[in-house]
Amino acid sequence: TFTITDDSGNSAVVDTNNTVTTLVDNGDGSFTYTSEDGTVTTFTETLSTLVDNADGTFTYTNEDGVVTTFDAKRSTVLDNGDGTFTITDDSGNSATVDTNNTVTTLVDNGDGSFTYTSEDGTVTTFTETLSTLVDNANGTFTYTNEDGVVTIFDAKRSTVLDNGDGTFTLTDDSGNSATIDTNNTVTTLVNNGDGSFTYTNESGTSVLFRASTITDNGNGTSTIVLADGGTIIVDNDGVDNVDDADNLIGNEYNTGSAIIDGSLEITDGGGTESINLISSNANNDLTFGTDGALYLNVASVTISETVTNLADNGDGSFTYTNESGAPVSFQASTITNNGDGTSTIVLADGGTIIVDNDGVDNVDDADSDPNNEIELPTGGNNGQVLSTDGSGTYTWVDPDSGPVGTNGADGNGIASTTDNGDGTFTLTYDDGTTFTTSDLTGPQGTPGNNGADGANGADGADGNGIASTTDNGNGTFTLTYDDGTTFTTSDLTGPQGTPGNNGADGA
Q: What are phi and psi of 478, to 5 degrees?
A: -110, 125
Question: Tens digits of per-residue pLDDT, 172-202?
Answer: 666 677 776 665 556 677 777 776 777 676 6
In a domain, 241, yes or no: no
User: How remote is the C-alpha of 474 from its chain's centroid?
Assistant: 74
Q: Which residues contact 365 (CB under 8 A, 6 or more apart)?
A: 351
In a domain, 275, yes or no: yes
- At 444 the pLDDT is 79
In this predicted structure, which of 68-72, 79-83, 459-463 has the lowest mean pLDDT? 68-72
Most confident of 49-58, 92-101, 226-235, 421-430: 421-430
How high does pLDDT run on average in the chain?
A: 71
In a domain, 165, yes or no: no
Among 340, 356, 372, the domain boundary falls at 356
In a domain, 279, yes or no: yes
In a domain, 130, yes or no: no
In a domain, 22, yes or no: yes
Antiparallel, parallel or unpaired: β 317-321 and 263-268? unpaired
Distances (CA, A) of 428 to 155, 415, 420, 431: 64, 6, 13, 8
Residue 36 lies in domain: 2-44
Question: Tens digits of per-residue pLDDT, 145-167?
Answer: 767 788 776 655 556 677 877 67
Specify whether 314 is located in the same domain as 294: no
Kindly state the average pLDDT of the residues 308-321.
72
In a domain, 197, yes or no: yes
The number of domains in the chain is 4
- At 366 the pLDDT is 52
pTM: 0.17
Specify whether 281 is located in the same domain as 261: yes
User: Measuring CA to CA, which residue among 287, 269, 270 is closest to residue 278?
Assistant: 287
β-sheet bridge partners, residue 477? 471
Q: Which residues contact 33 (CB under 8 A, 6 or more apart)?
A: 21, 22, 23, 24, 40, 41, 42, 43
In a domain, 202, yes or no: yes
Question: Tens digits of per-residue pLDDT, 403-423?
Answer: 666 777 777 788 888 999 888
